[in-house]
Amino acid sequence: MHVLHLKSAPLTQRPGGRGSPVSATRPAARRTSAVSVPGSIHGVDGESRIAWVSKALCRSTDPDELFVRGAAQRKAAVICRHCPVMAECGADALDNRVEFGVWGGMTERQRRALLKQHPEVVSWAEFFSSQRKHRSVS
């Protein structure tokens, strides 16, 4: 399950206490059993928007496996390849500007690139849907 809880205290070291310090601006993030992206989900509409979560292949994955840094993100994204809700997950992460972790098979860098390439997109779910329709017509 792709869930992000942002804590007010910043990370000061890499996970596991190894290596050099992480940027003090990076929030501590962890996936848990409930979806919580601040300001993104409210009421019945929010519940229907996240109905896909129960179908996610990663829902039983250790959250730490999906919140990795750098090149390890590509390896972590492998779990998403056959996920039936990959597009919904990616759209939700993009719509909510989730900065950290692997979501919808996309690394942090890939999501940033999409957001930069398409600043006009209001709904990534609609964008992905129109892209699928366009491909099936071609």
Q: Which of 26-35, 70-79, 96-105 has the lowest mean pLDDT?
A: 26-35
Residues annotated in a binding site: 58, 80, 83, 89
Closest CA to 91 of 99, 100, 103: 103
- The tens digit of pLDDT for each residue in 34-92 reads 343 444 444 446 676 678 999 999 999 999 999 999 889 999 999 999 999 999 999 99
Residues annotated in a binding site for [4Fe-4S] cluster: 58, 80, 83, 89
**For position 97, what pLDDT does the model report?**
96
N residues, the chain: 138
Residue 17 has pLDDT above 70, yes or no: no
**For position 51, what pLDDT does the model report?**
87
Determine contact, residues 89/100, Cβ cutoff 8 Å.
no
One-letter amino acid identity for 5? Answer: H
